[in-house]
Structure 1
């Protein structure tokens, strides 16, 4: 590799590491303090990166917000898939609420980043609203797949999604993880009611 190409590769690696540091810091601050409370000056102070460098890596604060939300989306998908892997069909659905319970019990839990972001910026920042709607839509679509695997009617998926979304908001306001247990109990009732007709149909004549 020529010296010029090696220098360019090193600069790209440095840029990637710096971007990752900035996004990690932005995620923490946005989640803890709120997006509107954290300006570029705050990011500069927290990261030690000059404003000139920040704007060279990210064209605007909005672009940072978008990347933080997209990273959160990937993290959420991983949590969901880890929760449902290796369980039975009915348990697939209930495992979502067990995952929520573990999340709610974390010391830094401040509610759903997507709900929080939509509340702050959804009316004025179309791209943020689009990302939030896409995230929530994909979660409901994943629930629909799990519901279909369990052999339950499609109408169960949005009901379970509403329970999960409501639990996140309730837990953030109440400051306890009790909402996850309550949502799980409600989900069990809905799931069992949805599966009962199929079980009766499969039973002895």
Structure 2
């Protein structure tokens, strides 16, 4: 009998963010873990301080408020996740732009089937802070804009006729796939939409 393949954890797939041991880094790390697990509104500063093992004096040395800490945490996640995704897709696709655009959905599929999948923190952030003028919403939105721009640049490199239109369509598929998994619970969401990406590339 064939032994079933064990799904990788998120840490096995992407690695883990690296933080230093200084007070600010410990606060950002603790905040990011707690906000991702429980949401921003449900987590108080005292919980962050307890998990980080620092005092309020240390907190106010680095941040004026919880809002500032939230922005720093989401920004740290943005920097780490962008690098982690780029590394993983290039492991599968090398430098071929068309292969990279497909590999994003292969990585999505692995992530969606990780036992500790927790959803997209940037979608979660925008949902908790829907006001587009809110600084933490803006950090999440900027992450999504940068992703869309990277898809456009890959389309240019792949020789797609209209990279801007392609980026809009591809981004709609990418974000829709996240919703299909996160809201509808479809572990196979990336496999379903990958066919649409193949058709989009074939038409480009």
**TM beyond 0.5:** yes
SS at match of 1:185: helix
Greater RCO between the two (CA within 8 Å, min separation 6)? 2
Per-residue CA deviations over 1:129-186 (Å, capped at 9, x if unaligned) read: 2212211111110000000111112211111111111111221223443111112121
CA contact (8 A) 2:89 2:107 kept: no
Identify if the C-alpha distance between structure 1 residues 16 and 46 changes in structure 2 by more than 3 Å, giving closer, same or farther: closer
Gaps of 5+ in 1: 1-14, 195-205
**Cα distance in 2 between the residues matched to 1:125 and 1:48:** 32
In structure 1, the residue matched to 2:6 is: none
TM-score for both structures, normalised by structure 2: 0.80
Q: What RMSD in Å do the two structures reach over aligned CA positions?
A: 1.9
Larger radius of gyration: 1
Q: 1:81 aligns with which of 77, 83, 86?
A: 86
Q: Is the 8 Å Cα contact of residues 105 and 176 (structure 1) preserved in structure 2?
A: no
Shift in alpha-carbon separation, 1:107–1:51, aligned structure 2, 3 A: farther
Q: Is the 8 A contact 1:112 1:169 kept in 2?
A: no
Please, which of 186, 189, 194 is the counterpart of residue 199 of structure 2?
189
Displacement after TM superposition at 1:65 (Å): 0.8
Structure 1 residue 52 displacement after superposition: 2.6
How many residues are matched?
A: 180
1:58 to 2:63 alignment: yes
Q: Give the TM-score, by structure 1 length.
A: 0.80
CA distance in 2, matches of 1:20, 1:151: 42
Q: Which runs of 4+ in 1 moved over 3 A?
A: none
Rounded to whole Å, the distance in 2 between the matches of 1:79 and 1:102 is: 14
Give a deviation string over 1:87-123, Cα, whole Å, max 9, x none.
4232121011112122222233221111111111132
| Aligned counterpart, 1:164 | 174
Aligned to 1:12: none
